[in-house]
Amino acid sequence: MTIRKLAFLLALLNGVALMPSPAPAQATLVDIPRMPVGASPLGFNFARTGAGATGQWVVVEDPTAESGKAIAQVSQDRTDYRFPLAIYQPLSARDVGVTLRFKPVAGKVDQAGGIAVRVTSPDDYYLVRANALENNVRFYRVLKGRREQVGGIDIPVPGGYWHMLGLRAEADRFTVSYDGRVVFSAPADSYADTGHVALWTKADSVTYFDAISITPLD
């Protein structure tokens, strides 16, 4: 190899090494500490999949929450096929990672809390939810208001305690984490539109949400 060629290769390698790395995705933390207690949570619209009353979403005091406050769904309508949604408006994404803490507080029909992503309407989204009465974590595709289970795991979900739940949506693959560890992944083969992120409950579940982090991946 000639000296000229060697100098060219060294310059090329140095140029590659000096290229800036892509900036890491920035997480959005839902600012619960600034929300007034007793008011509806700021930045959310509210809807419902299924039947029954719409949800009642309110900011509550909770000394066990990270900031002493939590977003709560407190309506106890026992309609079984009823899924209240609190849809976060400031951000819309197709590929997204969401983590939060949730606490099942009460409910005779269900004690469930979940994360919905790619929410294009109250009847169309993907969902991971944990249920304290059933002791499981399930992943669903919701299309035209009908749920189809895509994945899941039986695992203890003690009521009255905070748990971590996470959902990472990347292209046609979803990864679910629970209490700090990945528990399963599932495919998405129906639709993959850009949409919002939402908090989710079922039936008469009284559920608290805290430490909500949303990271766009696309």
138, 129 Cβ separation under 8 angstroms: yes
Report yes or no on 19 lying in a domain: no
Cα-based angle 218, 29, 179 (whole degrees, multiple of 5): 90
Which pLDDT value is given to residue 25? 67
Report yes or no on 212 lying in a domain: yes
166, 148 Cβ separation under 8 angstroms: no
Which pLDDT value is given to residue 10? 42
* CATH code, domain with 129: 2.60.120.560
Report yes or no on 22 lying in a domain: no
Question: Which pairs count as long-range contacts for 167-173, CB under 8 Å and 24+ apart, including other chains?
Answer: 167/97, 167/98, 167/115, 167/117, 167/126, 167/128, 168/96, 168/97, 168/98, 168/217, 169/94, 169/95, 169/96, 169/97, 169/117, 169/118, 169/126, 169/217, 170/95, 170/217, 171/95
122, 47 Cβ separation under 8 angstroms: yes
Which pLDDT value is given to residue 189? 67
Give φ, ψ of 13 to 5 degrees: -65, -40
CA separation for the pair 69, 88 (Å, rounded): 18
Report yes or no on 43 lying in a domain: yes
The two structure tokens encoding residue 45: 């619209």
Which pLDDT value is given to residue 188? 75
Report yes or no on 59 lying in a domain: yes
Count: domains in the chain: 1
Report yes or no on 166 lying in a domain: yes
Residuewise pLDDT in 10s, the chain (218 residues): 555 544 444 444 454 333 444 455 688 999 999 999 999 999 999 999 999 999 999 999 999 999 999 999 999 999 999 999 999 999 999 999 999 999 999 999 999 999 999 999 999 999 999 999 999 999 999 999 999 999 999 999 999 999 999 999 998 899 999 999 999 999 876 556 899 999 999 999 999 999 999 999 97
For the entire predicted model, the pTM comes to 0.88
- Domain of residue 161: give its range: 27-216
Report yes or no on 1 lying in a domain: no
Which pLDDT value is given to residue 208? 98
Report yes or no on 67 lying in a domain: yes
